[in-house]
Structure 1
Amino acid sequence: MSSSAPARDAALADWLAYLETLHPKAIDLGLDRIRAVAARLELSLDCVKITVAGTNGKGSTCAMLESILLDAGYHVGEYTSPHLLRFNERIRIDGQEAGDADIVAQLERIESVRGDVTLTYFEMTTLAALLLFQAARLDVVVLEVGLGGRLDAVNLIDADCAILTSVDLDHMAYLGNTREAIGWEKAHIFRPGKPAICADPVPPQTVIDYAQEIGADLWRFGTDFNYSGDRQQWAYGGRDQRRNALGYPALRGANQLLNASAALAALETLRDRLVVTQQNVRNGLLHVSLPGRMQILPGLPATILDVGHNPHAASALGQNLDSMGHYPHTYAVVGMLHDKDIETTLSRLANRVDRWMCVTLGGPRGTSAQELADVVRRITGEETPVDPFIAQTAEVSRASGDHKPGVRAKPRPAVASRDVQVSTFDSPEQAFAEARKLATDNDRILVFGSFATVGPVLQVLRLEGRDVLS
């Protein structure tokens, strides 16, 4: 089943390779195994704990919380997944990535006590992160849920505040094929008597029902907290707290105020334990950074990197592209995993792209360039269906009073009326190099579809000396 554990002086890369062989399944949801090992490790976090789940927006919300809390002077741990370039990105303490030696030491510790209990890669690394946080004696930890909520390894932790950013269709083989089923799974990060922040403007009834069933203190966007804004600034309004004259977050995107307001709602619920000033919020939002989320690189042609890989994320990306203005040609470097809703995701962007550069992603979950190209040719041969995300965004705008320009997408002509070109490549690097060769300064290049697509392109740019991770 698994190979022998790495030698004592083994590198982190050797340990990560070993973890991939340790358990029969790459994804095996359930808490019994990880709880058993956590008990042997005497794992306990004596600090404020915030968990963040959702289909999209988790990473941005975690990044904003970390940035604000660091500005307030707290010792903060942040755990996220997956990573773009290095595994170490997943585990941060006081804004710095954990070192190889520290991560390996915790993996060795887990290996020494787990006995005959096999854990997945994600379960082992989650325990390693939690052990590092325990040793660091932090004030607060921000934990991003990996998949779903109810049976995800991160749900091992009883959160003092839980945030649900959004509920949409993704990971349906594990979570169900309706928003109601997926919402029920994700709502299980809520805890009795503890604040539960729901930033989804129209949450499934199952989320509301589960919160009521367990007695969680549910905070709903549009009811318990909200935001409003104009061209220069925005304001947050909660149950008992208002924060005015805030600058827009450094993270770009139509949904970032929704994510920011969820973060501020969480901080409002915890204000008896975490003192955060207005200036801390301003500074935190100004300096927050998260590569690969509607990341627009400086220079020409305009280059956008986005890890969006499901219909909901692609819809938001489409609206963000619309707000950028007109470009003669948009080159899309796209690679996706086969367990995603590829056709619906690509259809959300079909009216915005005329040069498709499909790439092959390796590994058991990867999709070939030819498979993607076949999907693109199919969806660009007919009119794209109405995008439901536009209706949801309109709902957010009505609830919040947000009048910032560029929030709503303008109607576009059917794809069939455009000169669409489709090509295939063996890797993201190869496609990106060709896109840069073909695009003029007036065009734009979009790289999207997966962390496994954006990561290699980020590495290319980093090797060129570009500052792409801050």
Structure 2
Amino acid sequence: MTAGPLSAPAASASLQEWLTYLESIHPQSIDMGLERVARVAASADVLEPAPLVITVSGTNGKGSTVCYLETILQTAGYTTGVYTSPHIVEYRERVRINGQELTNSAHTEAFAVIEKARKNTSLTYFEFGTLAALWLMKANKPDVVILEVGLGGRLDAVNCVDADVAVITSIGIDHIAFLGNNREQIGREKAGIARTDKPLICGEASPTASIVETADRVGAKLWQVGRDFHRNEKADSWSYRSQYTQLNDLPLTKLPIINASTAIAAIEQLPLPVTLSAIREGIAKAALPGRMQTDSYKNCEILLDVAHNPQAAAYACQYLDKFYPKHKVFAVVGMLSDKDHSGVVKALSSRVCDWYLGSLSEPRGETSGQLAVKAKLPNESCHLFDSVEHAFCEAVQAAEQYQANNGKALVFGFGSFYTVARITAHLKGV
């Protein structure tokens, strides 16, 4: 006999008690569709969380685009509410009001409200958390809410809210079990966030026909990179141009500049004045945990990124070439079973000298042995470990030895949010 769902905690219960409860109340971790979540959103009165809403979808670049939007708008003097997923270390990272995380009790209060509003409607962990985040946004009354789509777009819980500006960052092959196995199918799902007579900003350099078709069918105002807005990168700065403005000498950051230009294009569509100085300063402030995150450990340089598909891995390779051209790279990798392991490894093979693979015990986690086989790594450069933490420690030791005798070394951890979370926790001594 299997146990049924837990009883709902009290509003005063701990955040962990609530999160455990959220994991128990729906038979599937992912259940695409808007009917259930929209019904509860209406009951909880969270369908309009702020005067202005921006929704951000895409395969890669969602988090950095959200970050650029957030820092630019805050610098311009506007209050923001941000919802992203998944988190790196703790759940509270998913909701930010004016750049600040909220208390545990704020989250549990929101969970209690959604629990009452849902009545007998079953919600997944993500759906419940999304609705609670929308409630928190509305309660804090920001000027602009920025919502990151969790998976796809059309059927994602975030899409129950009608955005004033919709953004698609990029289209790559990922989550094929839910979104399709080619760019056209995935593009169609991502474009499901488009709304009639509202701007749809596309930062995808080669947009799929399905995105254009969806925008036409819905009646959205498609703004396309390379056509309606442009960027030009130099060695020490970059510029942005559209029919509205020309911005020169913009600062470079660790986050992809293509996503900064996409964020500026989205801001141009808002009925809010934003100065050039706010854009420049906001871009310079942009930084995001788990996205080209730098650290040091035992005299070793550490770089962490949540890259887990070939497109993101290719960007990581370019980043290593640009910022670590003379470093020998020791990779620490943990991945989920449904990813393109060989594609990720191939994209980084020109820069990585040794691979330290760690098993992930999380749902869909791959063992290091399975990952080595699927990634088709050569035995002489592949080292297998029972955990990401163990793999990380061994990679650091190897990097230290190399530095003592040869030159510069970098330990680069990537492959999953779980991988970055485990290494981050280890660095913090958690």
Structure 2 length-normalised TM: 0.94
Counterpart residue type for residue 429 of structure 2: L
Deviation per residue, 1:64-97 (Å, 9 max, x gap): 1100111111110010000101100000001100
Deviation per residue, 1:385-424 (Å, 9 max, x gap): xxxxxxxxxxxxxxxxxxxxxxxxxxxxxxxxxxx42111
| 2:82 matched residue in structure 1 | 78
Deviation per residue, 1:313-366 (Å, 9 max, x gap): 111111212223444632111000111122222221223222111111113211
| 1:42 matched residue in structure 2 | 45
Distance in structure 2 (CA, Å) of the matches to 1:211 and 1:298: 46
Alignment of 1:45-444 (within 5 A): 45-248=49-252, 250-252=253-255, 256-270=256-270, 273-297=271-295, 300-327=299-326, 329-376=328-375, 378-380=376-378, 420-440=380-400, 441=403, 442-444=408-410
Distance in structure 2 (CA, Å) of the matches to 1:6 and 1:269: 42
Deviation at 1:124, TM superposition (A): 0.3
**What is the DSSP-based 3-state SS (H/G/I as helix, E as strand, rest coil) of the residue aligned with 1:348?**
helix
Whether contact under 8 Å (1:236, 1:242) holds in the other structure is yes
Deviation at 1:6, TM superposition (A): 1.8
Structure 1 length-normalised TM: 0.86
Distance in structure 2 (CA, Å) of the matches to 1:56 and 1:351: 21
Unaligned 5+ runs, structure 1: 382-419, 465-470
Deviation per residue, 1:244-266 (Å, 9 max, x gap): 22112x324xxx11101100001
Counterpart residue type for residue 10 of structure 1: A
Unaligned 5+ runs, structure 2: none
* CA spacing shift, 1:283–1:208, aligned 2, 3 Å: same
RMSD: 1.6
Aligned length: 419
2:414 aligned to which of 448, 451, 455: 448
Distance in structure 2 (CA, Å) of the matches to 1:284 and 1:298: 26
Deviates more, 1:350-359 or 1:275-284: 350-359
* CA spacing shift, 1:328–1:86, aligned 2, 3 Å: closer
**What is the DSSP-based 3-state SS (H/G/I as helix, E as strand, rest coil) of the residue aligned with 1:2?**
coil
Counterpart residue type for residue 187 of structure 1: A
Deviation per residue, 1:121-173 (Å, 9 max, x gap): 00000001000111111100110000000000000110000110000100000
Identity of aligned residues (%): 44
Distance in structure 2 (CA, Å) of the matches to 1:103 and 1:49: 21
* CA spacing shift, 1:130–1:328, aligned 2, 3 Å: closer
* CA spacing shift, 1:363–1:357, aligned 2, 3 Å: same
Counterpart residue type for residue 351 of structure 1: S
Distance in structure 1 (CA, Å) of the matches to 2:269 and 2:328: 46
Distance in structure 1 (CA, Å) of the matches to 2:57 and 2:99: 21
Deviation at 1:296, TM superposition (A): 2.9
* CA spacing shift, 1:298–1:226, aligned 2, 3 Å: farther
Distance in structure 2 (CA, Å) of the matches to 1:74 and 1:176: 38
Distance in structure 1 (CA, Å) of the matches to 2:225 and 2:246: 14
Distance in structure 1 (CA, Å) of the matches to 2:370 and 2:98: 43
